[in-house]
Homo-oligomer: A and B are copies of this chain.
Amino acid sequence: MTSSGLRAKGKSNLNASITVALDAMGGDHAPDMVVAGADLARTRYPKVKYIFFGDERRIEALLEKRKALRPLVSIHHTDDAVDNDTKPSVALRSGRQSSMRLAIDAVAAGRADCVVSAGNTGALMAMAKIVLKTLPGIHRPAIASFIPTARGESVMLDLGANIECDAENLVQFAIMGSIFARTVLGIPEPTIGLLNVGAEQLKGNDAVRSAADILRGNPVAGLFHGFIEGNDIPAGTVDVIVTDGFTGNVALKLAEGMGKLYSGFLQRTFRSSLMARLGYLLAIGAFRKLRARVDPRRYNGGMFLGLSGVCVKSHGGIDAFGFANAIGVAVDLVAQGFNERISAELQRLAPAAPLQQ
């Protein structure tokens, strides 16, 4: 596997002084895939440095085979790691020496510029909130991710950090998503859609209706598309999809599952007859390109937006290729100065347009 499939857009000359804190013990295949992922990310960002938090002996053993990575790496040993089934509140209390917590601490202390973990999402969000704090003006951070669409890709938030959201939360997600699309994706005027059960103004629950009312009168309003429905997500109707964490989590996992379903259908179709098998042999090059385009590992990396520090959550079951993409997402957020830009934008918006009704 080459680095050419990595989707991160950062320019390597920008990344000379970036250090990434890695939770080496988070994820189903840790620490192996964390080390291998960093080595793969190195081919794209040759100057980025890494601090691995976790079992030093195991990490050292893995690094022995990776000579080019070794000089870029320092290791911070700890025996403790957060389990996947640990409650966030328990992880907060008793996980102060965990690989996850120490990696976040490194960002707060300025020893690293961003943190990437494939561990327990709830624990990571709880620790990141306590340690890094939310940006001034932001009540609740949100998890955002890219999602492939017919028009390219959109960004969707929240994906599970906030199970129940009020109108103000949704408005803040819209603003953060919009700044993200402008600064990181480089879309000059990103459109924002609020996920609902219908496009008409009277549809939905109180939170989405009130959020839409506020967004219609906001400086981002020119870009507020209005309500969108489930089918608008893959259609790419808007650049930024805003929803509560319950709906967003279900939608993201459903979209990934549908990808698997169709890829299974496709495999069975090509195997269903001799003619179909021959057809596949002819079309194999084109299908390799399609597979790379929709590979869910390219879209790995949930960004925690709204924190005073860059924190990216990788899928737990991911491999090195997917983990390298999550590293790329974190490096890009740092290189583009996302947190500085979002703070400046929030300050610019705040006096002119109160976020509350």
Contacts and interface: CB of A to CB of B under 8 A. Distances in A.
Of A164, A235, A251, A282, chain B has the most CB atoms within 10 Å of the CB of A282
Interface string A269-311: 1101101101111111111011001100000000000000000
Contact of A286 (B229, B273, B281): B273
Interface in A241-258: 243, 245-247, 249-258
A230 B276 CA distance: 32
A160 interface: yes
Contacts of A283: 269-270, 273, 275-276, 278-280, 283
A208 B205 CA distance: 18
B276 A246 contact: no
Of A229, A243, A264, chain B has the most CB atoms within 10 Å of the CB of A229
A249 B243 CA distance: 14
A233 B257 contact: yes
A272 to B, nearest CB: 5
Interface stretch (A10-18, A184-192, A195-203, A332-340): A195-203
B285 A258 contact: no
B269 A276 contact: no
B258 A286 contact: no
A68 interface: no
A234 interface: yes
A246 B165 CA distance: 14
A217 interface: no
Contact of A253 (B205, B231, B286): B231
A66 to B, nearest CB: 33
Number of copies: 2
A107 to B, nearest CB: 26
B229 A250 contact: yes
A195 B281 CA distance: 40
A230 B253 CA distance: 5
Nearest to A206: B164
Interface string A132-161: 000000000000000011100000000010
A86 to B, nearest CB: 10
A232 interface: yes
A264 B164 contact: no
A279 to B, nearest CB: 3
Given A247-B247, A279-B283, A233 B254 contact: yes
Contacts of A265: 290, 293-294
A163 B258 contact: no
A352 interface: no
A58 interface: no
Given A231-B253, A235-B257, 9 more contacts: A197-B249, A230-B255, A231-B254, A265-B294, A269-B287, A272-B286, A272-B289, A279-B279, A279-B282
Interface of A: 85, 87, 148-150, 160, 163-164, 195, 197, 200, 202, 204-205, 229-235, 243, 245-247, 249-262, 264-266, 269-270, 272-273, 275-276, 278-287, 289-290, 293-294
30 contacts: A87-B202, A150-B260, A150-B261, A163-B205, A164-B205, A197-B245, A205-B246, A229-B253, A230-B249, A230-B257, A231-B254, A232-B257, A233-B257, A234-B257, A234-B260, A234-B261, A235-B260, A246-B247, A250-B250, A251-B254, A254-B254, A255-B258, A258-B258, A259-B262, A265-B294, A269-B283, A270-B283, A279-B279, A279-B280, A279-B281
